[in-house]
Copies of this chain bind each other. A is one copy, B any other.
Amino acid sequence: MLITLDDGSTEPLYRQLRDAITEAIGEGKFSRGELLPSSRGLATELGVSRNTVNTAYQELLAEGFLEALPRRGYRVSPDLRAHIVSPQPQTHAGGVDWATRIDRAAHDVGEVWKPADWYNYRYRFIVGQPDELNFPDRSWNRALRQATSAPHRGASLRDGIDHDDELLVEMVTRRILPARGISARADEVLITLGSQHGIHLVASALTSDTSTVAIEEPGYPDARQIFSRRGATLRPVRVDATGIVLDETTLRGVDLAFVTPSHQYPTNVTMSVGRRHTLLAQAAKHDTLIVEDDYDSEFRYVGAPTPALKAMDNEGRVIYVGSFSKFLAPGLRLGYLVADAELIADLRDRRRYAIRHPPGIIQRAVGLLIDEGDYHRAIRRSRKLLKAKWEHLSEAVSAELGTSPETTGGLSLWIEGHRELDSGALATTALRHDVIIEPGSASFLSRPAPSHFFRIGFSSIHTDDIAEGVRRIALSIRELA
Protein backbone atom coordinates (compact mmCIF):
# COMPACT_ATOMS: atom_id res chain seq x y z
CA MET A 1 0.00 0.00 0.00
CA LEU A 2 1.62 3.22 -1.14
CA ILE A 3 -1.05 5.43 0.39
CA THR A 4 -2.90 5.23 3.69
CA LEU A 5 -5.50 7.55 5.12
CA ASP A 6 -5.84 8.51 8.78
CA ASP A 7 -9.19 7.32 10.17
CA GLY A 8 -9.14 9.81 13.02
CA SER A 9 -8.59 12.92 10.93
CA THR A 10 -11.27 15.59 10.58
CA GLU A 11 -9.88 16.84 7.26
CA PRO A 12 -12.06 16.19 4.21
CA LEU A 13 -11.08 12.87 2.64
CA TYR A 14 -10.01 14.32 -0.71
CA ARG A 15 -7.58 16.67 1.04
CA GLN A 16 -6.15 13.82 3.12
CA LEU A 17 -5.68 11.90 -0.08
CA ARG A 18 -4.15 14.88 -1.86
CA ASP A 19 -1.65 15.38 0.97
CA ALA A 20 -0.88 11.65 1.17
CA ILE A 21 -0.08 11.50 -2.54
CA THR A 22 2.11 14.62 -2.29
CA GLU A 23 3.99 12.96 0.57
CA ALA A 24 4.34 9.70 -1.31
CA ILE A 25 5.88 11.61 -4.22
CA GLY A 26 8.19 13.44 -1.83
CA GLU A 27 9.31 10.20 -0.26
CA GLY A 28 10.03 8.73 -3.67
CA LYS A 29 7.24 6.13 -3.49
CA PHE A 30 6.13 7.49 -6.84
CA SER A 31 8.90 8.63 -9.12
CA ARG A 32 8.86 11.38 -11.69
CA GLY A 33 6.89 10.45 -14.79
CA GLU A 34 5.30 7.43 -13.10
CA LEU A 35 1.69 6.63 -13.91
CA LEU A 36 -0.71 6.81 -10.92
CA PRO A 37 -3.34 4.16 -10.19
CA SER A 38 -6.65 4.68 -11.98
CA SER A 39 -9.21 6.57 -9.92
CA ARG A 40 -11.45 3.49 -9.91
CA GLY A 41 -8.63 1.26 -8.71
CA LEU A 42 -7.42 3.62 -5.99
CA ALA A 43 -10.99 4.27 -4.81
CA THR A 44 -11.59 0.54 -4.36
CA GLU A 45 -8.25 -0.01 -2.67
CA LEU A 46 -8.81 2.80 -0.15
CA GLY A 47 -12.55 2.27 0.30
CA VAL A 48 -13.44 5.83 -0.70
CA SER A 49 -15.64 7.11 -3.51
CA ARG A 50 -14.22 7.53 -6.98
CA ASN A 51 -15.25 11.16 -6.77
CA THR A 52 -12.93 11.69 -3.80
CA VAL A 53 -10.00 10.34 -5.77
CA ASN A 54 -10.90 12.44 -8.80
CA THR A 55 -11.13 15.61 -6.72
CA ALA A 56 -7.71 14.92 -5.20
CA TYR A 57 -6.21 14.22 -8.65
CA GLN A 58 -7.77 17.43 -10.02
CA GLU A 59 -6.15 19.50 -7.28
CA LEU A 60 -2.77 17.87 -7.78
CA LEU A 61 -3.13 18.53 -11.48
CA ALA A 62 -3.92 22.20 -10.86
CA GLU A 63 -0.96 22.50 -8.52
CA GLY A 64 1.39 20.97 -11.07
CA PHE A 65 2.22 17.76 -9.18
CA LEU A 66 0.50 15.64 -11.82
CA GLU A 67 0.06 15.75 -15.56
CA ALA A 68 -2.91 14.36 -17.47
CA LEU A 69 -2.20 11.82 -20.22
CA PRO A 70 -5.13 11.52 -22.62
CA ARG A 71 -6.88 8.14 -22.21
CA ARG A 72 -4.15 6.84 -19.84
CA GLY A 73 -4.75 8.76 -16.62
CA TYR A 74 -2.36 10.83 -14.55
CA ARG A 75 1.39 10.68 -14.10
CA VAL A 76 3.75 12.46 -11.71
CA SER A 77 5.09 15.58 -13.46
CA PRO A 78 8.49 14.80 -14.98
CA ASP A 79 9.65 18.32 -13.98
CA LEU A 80 9.21 17.80 -10.24
CA ARG A 81 12.47 17.93 -8.35
CA ALA A 82 13.43 15.17 -5.98
CA HIS A 83 12.82 15.83 -2.28
CA ILE A 84 10.49 18.58 -3.25
CA VAL A 85 8.07 17.94 -0.45
CA SER A 86 10.43 17.64 2.50
CA PRO A 87 13.31 19.78 1.28
CA GLN A 88 16.75 19.41 2.78
CA PRO A 89 19.00 22.33 3.68
CA GLN A 90 20.81 23.18 0.50
CA THR A 91 24.56 23.20 0.74
CA HIS A 92 26.03 25.41 -1.91
CA ALA A 93 29.64 24.53 -2.53
CA GLY A 94 31.25 27.50 -4.23
CA GLY A 95 28.07 29.52 -3.74
CA VAL A 96 27.56 33.10 -2.73
CA ASP A 97 29.42 34.77 0.14
CA TRP A 98 26.39 36.60 1.52
CA ALA A 99 28.20 38.27 4.38
CA THR A 100 30.21 40.37 1.94
CA ARG A 101 27.26 40.99 -0.38
CA ILE A 102 24.68 42.29 2.09
CA ASP A 103 24.84 46.01 2.80
CA ARG A 104 24.53 45.89 6.60
CA ALA A 105 24.26 49.03 8.72
CA ALA A 106 25.49 48.88 12.30
CA HIS A 107 22.46 49.21 14.56
CA ASP A 108 22.71 47.68 17.97
CA VAL A 109 20.24 49.73 19.96
CA GLY A 110 18.27 47.09 21.84
CA GLU A 111 14.92 45.46 21.32
CA VAL A 112 12.03 44.69 23.62
CA TRP A 113 12.28 41.12 24.78
CA LYS A 114 9.40 38.70 24.89
CA PRO A 115 8.96 34.98 24.29
CA ALA A 116 7.76 34.08 20.79
CA ASP A 117 4.81 32.13 22.21
CA TRP A 118 3.74 34.92 24.58
CA TYR A 119 0.07 34.14 23.93
CA ASN A 120 0.44 30.82 25.74
CA TYR A 121 1.26 32.61 29.00
CA ARG A 122 -1.71 33.34 31.18
CA TYR A 123 -0.29 36.43 32.89
CA ARG A 124 1.01 38.13 29.76
CA PHE A 125 1.63 41.74 30.83
CA ILE A 126 2.74 42.74 27.37
CA VAL A 127 2.13 45.80 25.26
CA GLY A 128 1.12 46.07 21.63
CA GLN A 129 -0.86 42.86 21.38
CA PRO A 130 -4.64 42.78 21.26
CA ASP A 131 -7.25 41.33 23.57
CA GLU A 132 -8.64 39.00 20.95
CA LEU A 133 -12.00 38.88 22.71
CA ASN A 134 -12.45 42.54 21.95
CA PHE A 135 -12.25 42.56 18.16
CA PRO A 136 -15.49 43.72 16.46
CA ASP A 137 -15.96 40.57 14.34
CA ARG A 138 -19.43 41.16 13.11
CA SER A 139 -18.94 44.69 11.83
CA TRP A 140 -15.47 43.85 10.48
CA ASN A 141 -16.73 40.87 8.50
CA ARG A 142 -19.62 42.96 7.19
CA ALA A 143 -17.22 45.71 6.12
CA LEU A 144 -14.97 43.18 4.36
CA ARG A 145 -17.91 41.70 2.46
CA GLN A 146 -19.07 45.16 1.47
CA ALA A 147 -15.55 46.04 0.37
CA THR A 148 -15.58 43.44 -2.43
CA SER A 149 -19.14 44.27 -3.54
CA ALA A 150 -20.36 47.13 -5.73
CA PRO A 151 -19.67 50.02 -5.57
CA HIS A 152 -16.55 49.28 -3.50
CA ARG A 153 -15.18 46.33 -5.47
CA GLY A 154 -12.89 48.28 -7.78
CA ALA A 155 -11.22 50.18 -4.94
CA SER A 156 -10.51 46.91 -3.12
CA LEU A 157 -9.20 44.83 -6.00
CA ARG A 158 -7.35 47.23 -8.31
CA ASP A 159 -3.72 48.14 -8.32
CA GLY A 160 -3.90 51.68 -6.94
CA ILE A 161 -0.27 52.34 -8.01
CA ASP A 162 0.44 55.30 -5.68
CA HIS A 163 -3.12 56.21 -4.70
CA ASP A 164 -4.82 55.79 -1.35
CA ASP A 165 -8.37 54.70 -0.88
CA GLU A 166 -10.49 57.83 -1.29
CA LEU A 167 -13.11 56.84 1.24
CA LEU A 168 -10.53 56.11 3.92
CA VAL A 169 -8.73 59.41 3.34
CA GLU A 170 -12.04 61.25 3.54
CA MET A 171 -12.83 59.46 6.80
CA VAL A 172 -9.43 60.42 8.21
CA THR A 173 -9.81 64.10 7.36
CA ARG A 174 -13.50 64.34 8.32
CA ARG A 175 -14.09 61.87 11.13
CA ILE A 176 -10.74 61.15 12.78
CA LEU A 177 -8.52 64.22 12.69
CA PRO A 178 -11.05 66.86 13.87
CA ALA A 179 -11.28 65.17 17.27
CA ARG A 180 -7.49 65.46 17.52
CA GLY A 181 -7.77 69.16 16.71
CA ILE A 182 -6.09 68.65 13.33
CA SER A 183 -7.28 70.19 10.08
CA ALA A 184 -5.91 68.54 6.95
CA ARG A 185 -6.72 68.24 3.26
CA ALA A 186 -6.57 64.94 1.36
CA ASP A 187 -3.16 65.76 -0.09
CA GLU A 188 -1.75 66.22 3.41
CA VAL A 189 -2.59 62.59 4.33
CA LEU A 190 -0.81 59.35 3.42
CA ILE A 191 -2.12 55.91 4.37
CA THR A 192 0.62 53.67 5.76
CA LEU A 193 1.05 49.99 6.60
CA GLY A 194 0.82 50.71 10.32
CA SER A 195 2.34 53.63 12.21
CA GLN A 196 5.84 52.15 12.10
CA HIS A 197 5.75 52.31 8.32
CA GLY A 198 5.06 56.04 8.67
CA ILE A 199 8.15 56.52 10.83
CA HIS A 200 10.20 54.48 8.36
CA LEU A 201 9.09 56.60 5.39
CA VAL A 202 9.81 59.84 7.24
CA ALA A 203 13.24 58.56 8.25
CA SER A 204 14.02 57.59 4.63
CA ALA A 205 13.08 61.01 3.27
CA LEU A 206 14.43 63.27 5.98
CA THR A 207 17.43 61.63 7.60
CA SER A 208 20.79 60.28 6.52
CA ASP A 209 24.17 59.52 8.06
CA THR A 210 24.77 63.25 8.51
CA SER A 211 21.57 63.84 10.51
CA THR A 212 21.06 64.25 14.24
CA VAL A 213 17.79 62.94 15.65
CA ALA A 214 16.56 63.78 19.15
CA ILE A 215 14.64 61.00 20.86
CA GLU A 216 13.01 60.73 24.26
CA GLU A 217 15.02 58.94 26.99
CA PRO A 218 13.61 56.48 27.84
CA GLY A 219 11.91 56.13 24.46
CA TYR A 220 10.52 53.90 21.74
CA PRO A 221 13.16 51.31 20.71
CA ASP A 222 11.69 50.71 17.23
CA ALA A 223 11.94 54.41 16.36
CA ARG A 224 15.56 54.40 17.60
CA GLN A 225 16.27 51.38 15.39
CA ILE A 226 14.74 53.03 12.34
CA PHE A 227 16.69 56.28 12.66
CA SER A 228 19.84 54.49 13.67
CA ARG A 229 19.62 52.28 10.55
CA ARG A 230 19.62 55.46 8.46
CA GLY A 231 23.02 56.15 10.01
CA ALA A 232 21.68 59.15 11.96
CA THR A 233 23.27 60.25 15.24
CA LEU A 234 20.80 59.80 18.09
CA ARG A 235 20.59 62.42 20.84
CA PRO A 236 18.71 61.20 23.93
CA VAL A 237 16.60 63.86 25.69
CA ARG A 238 15.37 63.32 29.24
CA VAL A 239 11.66 62.88 30.02
CA ASP A 240 10.06 63.89 33.33
CA ALA A 241 6.49 63.82 34.65
CA THR A 242 5.31 66.39 32.09
CA GLY A 243 7.21 65.20 29.05
CA ILE A 244 10.44 65.94 27.25
CA VAL A 245 12.78 68.37 29.08
CA LEU A 246 14.19 71.07 26.79
CA ASP A 247 16.43 74.04 27.36
CA GLU A 248 17.59 76.68 24.87
CA THR A 249 20.34 74.48 23.45
CA THR A 250 18.80 70.98 23.47
CA LEU A 251 17.69 71.13 19.84
CA ARG A 252 20.75 72.96 18.53
CA GLY A 253 21.94 71.04 15.48
CA VAL A 254 19.03 68.62 15.72
CA ASP A 255 17.38 67.92 12.34
CA LEU A 256 14.44 65.98 13.65
CA ALA A 257 12.89 65.23 17.05
CA PHE A 258 10.79 62.12 17.66
CA VAL A 259 8.19 62.53 20.43
CA THR A 260 5.13 60.75 21.86
CA PRO A 261 3.12 63.58 23.47
CA SER A 262 -0.23 61.84 24.20
CA HIS A 263 1.20 59.02 26.30
CA GLN A 264 4.95 58.98 26.29
CA TYR A 265 6.53 55.67 25.33
CA PRO A 266 7.26 53.93 27.72
CA THR A 267 6.34 56.10 30.74
CA ASN A 268 2.78 57.04 29.59
CA VAL A 269 3.16 60.63 30.84
CA THR A 270 1.28 63.27 28.87
CA MET A 271 3.28 66.22 27.60
CA SER A 272 1.97 69.40 29.26
CA VAL A 273 0.71 72.35 27.21
CA GLY A 274 3.64 74.41 28.46
CA ARG A 275 6.15 71.80 27.29
CA ARG A 276 4.41 71.62 23.92
CA HIS A 277 4.79 75.38 23.46
CA THR A 278 8.45 75.15 24.43
CA LEU A 279 9.02 72.26 22.03
CA LEU A 280 7.43 74.10 19.09
CA ALA A 281 9.29 77.34 19.89
CA GLN A 282 12.65 75.57 20.22
CA ALA A 283 12.03 73.57 17.05
CA ALA A 284 11.28 76.77 15.13
CA LYS A 285 14.40 78.41 16.54
CA HIS A 286 16.69 75.56 15.51
CA ASP A 287 14.70 74.60 12.37
CA THR A 288 14.08 71.14 13.79
CA LEU A 289 11.32 68.96 12.32
CA ILE A 290 9.08 67.08 14.74
CA VAL A 291 7.62 63.60 14.39
CA GLU A 292 4.61 63.19 16.68
CA ASP A 293 3.82 59.52 17.16
CA ASP A 294 0.23 59.56 18.41
CA TYR A 295 -0.02 55.79 18.53
CA ASP A 296 -2.55 55.42 21.33
CA SER A 297 -4.26 58.75 21.88
CA GLU A 298 -7.64 56.98 22.09
CA PHE A 299 -6.70 55.38 25.35
CA ARG A 300 -7.17 58.13 27.88
CA TYR A 301 -9.15 57.17 30.96
CA VAL A 302 -9.21 60.35 33.04
CA GLY A 303 -10.12 63.87 31.94
CA ALA A 304 -10.64 65.22 28.43
CA PRO A 305 -8.41 64.05 25.58
CA THR A 306 -5.54 66.41 24.85
CA PRO A 307 -5.43 67.78 21.30
CA ALA A 308 -2.50 66.62 19.23
CA LEU A 309 0.75 68.60 19.18
CA LYS A 310 0.09 68.89 15.44
CA ALA A 311 -3.02 70.96 16.29
CA MET A 312 -0.74 73.69 17.71
CA ASP A 313 1.61 73.63 14.72
CA ASN A 314 1.35 76.78 12.58
CA GLU A 315 4.48 76.14 10.53
CA GLY A 316 3.80 72.67 9.11
CA ARG A 317 6.79 71.52 11.17
CA VAL A 318 5.04 68.60 12.86
CA ILE A 319 4.66 65.28 11.06
CA TYR A 320 1.78 63.41 12.65
CA VAL A 321 1.84 59.60 12.82
CA GLY A 322 -1.47 57.85 13.51
CA SER A 323 -2.63 54.24 13.67
CA PHE A 324 -5.86 52.36 13.06
CA SER A 325 -4.52 48.95 13.83
CA LYS A 326 -3.23 49.64 17.37
CA PHE A 327 -6.67 49.35 18.86
CA LEU A 328 -8.50 47.34 16.19
CA ALA A 329 -5.85 44.63 15.83
CA PRO A 330 -2.13 45.23 15.22
CA GLY A 331 -2.12 42.40 12.67
CA LEU A 332 -4.23 44.55 10.32
CA ARG A 333 -1.27 46.92 9.77
CA LEU A 334 -2.96 50.22 8.93
CA GLY A 335 -1.99 53.75 9.87
CA TYR A 336 -1.60 57.22 8.39
CA LEU A 337 0.64 60.26 8.24
CA VAL A 338 -0.41 63.90 8.27
CA ALA A 339 2.14 66.43 7.05
CA ASP A 340 2.83 69.22 4.60
CA ALA A 341 1.60 68.33 1.09
CA GLU A 342 5.10 68.67 -0.37
CA LEU A 343 6.50 66.09 2.03
CA ILE A 344 3.49 63.79 1.60
CA ALA A 345 4.01 63.82 -2.19
CA ASP A 346 7.61 62.70 -1.73
CA LEU A 347 6.68 59.97 0.77
CA ARG A 348 3.92 58.76 -1.56
CA ASP A 349 6.49 58.40 -4.33
CA ARG A 350 8.82 56.44 -2.03
CA ARG A 351 5.98 54.21 -0.91
CA ARG A 352 4.98 53.55 -4.55
CA TYR A 353 8.41 52.05 -5.32
CA ALA A 354 8.52 49.98 -2.14
CA ILE A 355 5.06 48.53 -1.51
CA ARG A 356 2.87 50.58 -3.90
CA HIS A 357 0.08 50.95 -1.28
CA PRO A 358 -1.49 49.16 1.70
CA PRO A 359 -3.98 46.49 0.54
CA GLY A 360 -7.07 48.13 -0.98
CA ILE A 361 -9.49 45.78 0.70
CA ILE A 362 -8.24 46.65 4.19
CA GLN A 363 -8.25 50.37 3.44
CA ARG A 364 -11.79 50.23 2.10
CA ALA A 365 -13.04 47.99 4.94
CA VAL A 366 -11.66 50.34 7.62
CA GLY A 367 -13.12 53.31 5.68
CA LEU A 368 -16.52 51.63 5.73
CA LEU A 369 -16.13 50.77 9.40
CA ILE A 370 -15.58 54.45 10.20
CA ASP A 371 -18.36 55.64 7.90
CA GLU A 372 -20.86 53.25 9.49
CA GLY A 373 -19.96 54.47 12.96
CA ASP A 374 -18.73 50.99 13.93
CA TYR A 375 -15.17 52.17 14.32
CA HIS A 376 -15.90 54.76 16.96
CA ARG A 377 -18.34 52.45 18.71
CA ALA A 378 -15.59 49.83 18.88
CA ILE A 379 -13.15 52.41 20.28
CA ARG A 380 -15.64 53.37 22.98
CA ARG A 381 -16.24 49.74 23.93
CA SER A 382 -12.54 49.08 23.90
CA ARG A 383 -11.76 52.16 25.97
CA LYS A 384 -14.33 51.13 28.59
CA LEU A 385 -12.81 47.66 28.88
CA LEU A 386 -9.26 49.00 28.99
CA LYS A 387 -10.17 51.60 31.57
CA ALA A 388 -11.47 48.83 33.81
CA LYS A 389 -8.26 46.86 33.31
CA TRP A 390 -6.19 49.98 33.97
CA GLU A 391 -8.03 50.63 37.24
CA HIS A 392 -7.67 46.98 38.33
CA LEU A 393 -4.00 47.05 37.50
CA SER A 394 -3.31 50.40 39.20
CA GLU A 395 -4.99 49.16 42.35
CA ALA A 396 -3.10 45.86 42.35
CA VAL A 397 0.23 47.57 41.66
CA SER A 398 -0.36 50.01 44.46
CA ALA A 399 -1.30 47.22 46.88
CA GLU A 400 1.33 44.65 45.89
CA LEU A 401 4.25 46.72 44.66
CA GLY A 402 3.67 49.85 46.75
CA THR A 403 3.94 52.28 43.84
CA SER A 404 1.37 54.22 41.82
CA PRO A 405 2.50 55.75 38.51
CA GLU A 406 0.57 59.00 37.98
CA THR A 407 -0.70 58.69 34.44
CA THR A 408 -4.08 59.16 32.81
CA GLY A 409 -3.97 56.73 29.92
CA GLY A 410 -2.04 54.32 27.77
CA LEU A 411 -1.88 50.56 27.61
CA SER A 412 0.72 49.88 30.29
CA LEU A 413 2.20 51.02 33.59
CA TRP A 414 5.87 51.95 33.80
CA ILE A 415 7.28 50.81 37.12
CA GLU A 416 10.42 52.06 38.79
CA GLY A 417 11.70 49.27 41.03
CA HIS A 418 14.15 49.70 43.88
CA ARG A 419 17.64 50.80 42.79
CA GLU A 420 19.16 47.32 42.95
CA LEU A 421 16.45 45.59 40.93
CA ASP A 422 17.65 43.74 37.84
CA SER A 423 14.54 43.77 35.65
CA GLY A 424 16.08 41.25 33.22
CA ALA A 425 16.46 38.74 36.06
CA LEU A 426 12.97 39.66 37.26
CA ALA A 427 11.52 38.89 33.80
CA THR A 428 13.19 35.48 33.84
CA THR A 429 11.96 34.69 37.35
CA ALA A 430 8.44 35.89 36.53
CA LEU A 431 8.33 33.68 33.45
CA ARG A 432 8.63 30.65 35.71
CA HIS A 433 5.42 31.85 37.35
CA ASP A 434 3.66 32.03 33.98
CA VAL A 435 4.07 35.83 33.97
CA ILE A 436 5.53 38.02 31.21
CA ILE A 437 6.73 41.54 31.98
CA GLU A 438 8.91 43.73 29.81
CA PRO A 439 12.28 44.78 31.25
CA GLY A 440 12.72 48.53 30.76
CA SER A 441 16.36 48.59 29.73
CA ALA A 442 15.60 48.28 25.99
CA SER A 443 13.87 51.66 26.21
CA PHE A 444 17.10 53.44 27.17
CA LEU A 445 19.74 54.59 24.75
CA SER A 446 22.33 55.39 27.45
CA ARG A 447 24.81 52.65 28.33
CA PRO A 448 24.82 51.07 30.81
CA ALA A 449 21.01 51.27 30.62
CA PRO A 450 19.23 51.68 33.97
CA SER A 451 18.00 48.20 34.81
CA HIS A 452 15.51 48.83 37.60
CA PHE A 453 12.53 49.82 35.41
CA PHE A 454 9.97 47.49 33.92
CA ARG A 455 6.70 47.75 32.06
CA ILE A 456 3.38 46.05 32.78
CA GLY A 457 1.12 46.03 29.73
CA PHE A 458 -2.56 45.21 30.04
CA SER A 459 -3.96 45.13 26.51
CA SER A 460 -3.74 41.40 25.98
CA ILE A 461 -4.17 39.91 29.47
CA HIS A 462 -7.71 39.05 30.57
CA THR A 463 -9.21 41.29 33.27
CA ASP A 464 -9.71 38.49 35.78
CA ASP A 465 -6.05 37.51 35.62
CA ILE A 466 -4.65 40.94 36.46
CA ALA A 467 -4.69 40.79 40.28
CA GLU A 468 -3.13 37.32 40.46
CA GLY A 469 -0.55 38.32 37.86
CA VAL A 470 0.60 41.32 39.88
CA ARG A 471 0.74 39.15 43.02
CA ARG A 472 3.11 36.86 41.14
CA ILE A 473 5.28 39.80 40.08
CA ALA A 474 5.56 40.83 43.74
CA LEU A 475 6.45 37.24 44.61
CA SER A 476 9.12 37.17 41.92
CA ILE A 477 10.66 40.39 43.26
CA ARG A 478 10.83 38.86 46.75
CA GLU A 479 12.37 35.69 45.36
CA LEU A 480 15.07 37.72 43.63
CA ALA A 481 15.99 39.72 46.73
Contact = CB atoms under 8 A, between A and B. Distances in A.
B315 A332 contact: no
Interface string A217-243: 000001001100100000000000000
A343 B102 contact: yes
A87 B184 contact: yes
A107 to B, nearest CB: 9
Contact of A178 (B63, B119, B362, B380): B63
A129 interface: yes
A9 interface: no
A145 B357 CA distance: 23
A190 to B, nearest CB: 14
Contacts of A403: none
A408 interface: no
Interface in A185-209: 185, 188, 193-194, 196-197, 200, 204-208
Number of copies: 2
Interface residues of A, number: 120
Interface stretch (A34-42, A371-379, A424-432): A371-379
A283 B316 CA distance: 50
Interface stretch (A77-85, A443-451, A461-469): A77-85
Interface of A: 15, 18, 22, 59, 62-65, 67, 77, 79-85, 87-90, 92, 94-96, 98-99, 101-104, 116, 119, 128-130, 132, 135, 137, 140-141, 144-145, 148, 153-160, 163, 173-185, 188, 193-194, 196-197, 200, 204-208, 222, 225-226, 229, 284, 287, 289, 304-305, 307, 311, 314-317, 329-334, 340-343, 346, 353-362, 371-373, 376-377, 379-380
